[in-house]
Amino acid sequence: MEEKNGRSIKRKVAVVGGGLVGALNACFFAKRGFDVEVFETREDIRKAKVVKGRSINLALSHRGRQALKHVGMEEKIISKGIPMHARMIHSLNGKQSPIPYGRKGQFILSVDRANLNKELLTEAETYPNTKLNFDHKLQDWSAETGLMTFARSDGSNEQIKADLIVGCDGAFSAIRKQFLRRSRFNYSQTYIPHGYMELTMPPINGEFAMKPNYLHIWPRNTFMMIALPNLDKTFTCTLFMPFEDFEKITTGDEVIEFFQKYFPDTIPLIGVDALKMDYFRLPAQAMVSVKCSPYHIGDKCVLMGDAAHAVVPFYGQGMNAGFEDCLVFEEIMDQLNEDFSTVLPEYTRVRAPDDHAIADLAMYNYIEMRAHVNSKWFIFRKHVDNILHFLMPKTITPLYTMVTFTRTRYHEAVDRWHWQNKVINRGLLFSATGAVLGGSYLLIKSPPEITKLMVPAEKMWDRLVLLWTP
Ligand code: FAD
């Protein structure tokens, strides 16, 4: 509230973009008592027959849940999610091996994107100080006056002014375009060579076709497929592959040949005819990583969610980071008494290093998920990390745990991960050296009949790995 001539006036906040982050942000600002208006280019998805948009389901984890909790939405969303306790790795020969995400009881949730968005819009609307405007596409806005121009589908324009503009209009943000016209705005975007395509695995006899409480992964080094469960007992499979490989497959028979070679266990589960059709339903979609800074202009405008930091989807953190943006902004609003002139720069100062860190980590996981999970060393190290975390929870925390199950700042998680890696690798090196020296000593000192019984050195490694593999 602001005082003017002895009267208190509610300040107006315009949230541009009614996607996941915009709808949640509207709840945050409404809860604080601002006069909130959301402007969304699409029609109201709660009334639409077909909901267009990216991935069908998403992995929700701790950061996102904490933000939902703040506006009283956590339980409602969790009740419609499916817990995934581990990755389930599918090897070429059909063998399935689980790699747990964290300790017992820790899980991520598969949630339906459209339902989540609808629930958040409905929640925002329950505040009497919130108005949702659909079919409003932001065309232009002024950083000096806060005046925004929206285009409607009937060809008309509407002009609206706000005290604060919150840009939640996604990776190709129209709000961000004004930032690009200004000096000292850093911006980079990278398209990765991979695209993604979604395929549906139907239920079999009314039940899930695979174990439901896992995020299934078929890592194939240069490409991979993942599958997340849905409430209707289907799985949404997402194939991530270089565009040039997508383009090489041009007929239904080639699709089946490709799946026979790389994902044979999925053919009977998806179905030959469905595969042939689904593959050509939509072209593969591109994935972009966007980094920028600062996130604000004066006391007038701030970017959040994908508008500030689109990340590739391989850490399952894009939405979670966007939801956490709302929470971090909220915390700074508390600290600085809702004074936009100090809150906005502080938000950039605090949040940009963390969003940049998760963008980098997501790129790192882009390789880890499709290639490293095939490596015995990777699996061995994951188990070492988990065991050390079990023995010394305060000293060693796996990176995935910090990112997914805590609110450790992303950039601090990365720093700590580098430090831990150094310590653990040195420890392993010392242990291995000690073992080799000890073994050599025994060999020299032992009688020949004992030497014969010893395991040859080249077999030792395989046995060690087998010992750690679940
Ligand atoms: P968006 O969801 O893009 O919403 C932006 C909104 O703004 C849209 O509704 C759009 O219509 C509207 N808009 C755009 N332009 C205008 C305009 N000019 N005027 C008015 N409105 C406008 N994240 C996770 O946390 N976990 C996952 O498992 C996960 N999986 C993913 C899988 C894939 C394949 C992809 C592509 C992404 C995934 N993500 C995941 C990332 C997640 O989808 C995004 O981070 C999240 O959608 C960002 O939300 P947002 O509201 O910032 O942007």
What is the ipTM score, two decimals?
0.99
Task: Supply the pLDDT for residue 5.
Answer: 55
More confident of the two residues 408 and 434: 408
Q: How far is the CA of 117 from the centre of ligand 1 (A)?
A: 10
DSSP assignments along 325-339, one per residue: HHHHHHHHHHHTTT-
Q: Which of 374, 101, 70, 24 is nearest to 219 (CA)?
A: 374
Contact 5, 28 (CB under 8 A): no
Q: Which of 384, 374, 468 is nearest to 426 (CA)?
A: 384
Burial of 74 (0-12, 13-18, 19+ CB in 10 A): middle
Q: Write the pLDDT tens digit of every residue in 112-148.
A: 999 999 999 999 999 999 999 999 999 999 998 889 9
Q: Write the pLDDT tens digit of every residue in 286-328.
A: 999 999 999 999 999 999 999 999 999 999 999 999 999 999 9
Rounded to two decimals, the pTM is 0.90
Specify the DSSP class assigned to residue 372. G
Q: Which of 37, 46, 54, 355 to mutate to test the pocket of ligand 1 (most atoms within 8 A of CB)?
A: 54
Angle at 316 between CA 313 and CA 319, to 5 degrees: 90
Contact 280, 197 (CB under 8 A): no
Q: How far is the CA of 369 from the centre of ligand 1 (A)?
A: 22
Q: How far is the CA of 170 from the centre of ligand 1 (A)?
A: 5
Q: Give the ligand 1 atom nearest the CA of 17.
A: 7
Q: How far is the CA of 306 from the centre of ligand 1 (A)?
A: 6
Q: Which of 58, 141, 292 to mutate to test the pocket of ligand 1 (most atoms within 8 A of CB)?
A: 58
Specify the DSSP class assigned to residue 455. P
- For residue 456, whether the previous peptide bond is cis, meaning omega lies within 30 degrees of 0, is no
Mean pLDDT value across the chain = 91
Q: How far is the CA of 16 from the centre of ligand 1 (A)?
A: 13
Task: Supply the pLDDT for residue 10.
Answer: 84
Contact 54, 20 (CB under 8 A): no
| Region of residue 273 (left: phi > 0; alpha: psi -120 to 50; beta: else) | alpha
| Region of residue 298 (left: phi > 0; alpha: psi -120 to 50; beta: else) | left
Task: Supply the pLDDT for residue 461.
Answer: 41
Distance from C-alpha of 129 to C-alpha of 121, rounded to nearest angstrom? 14
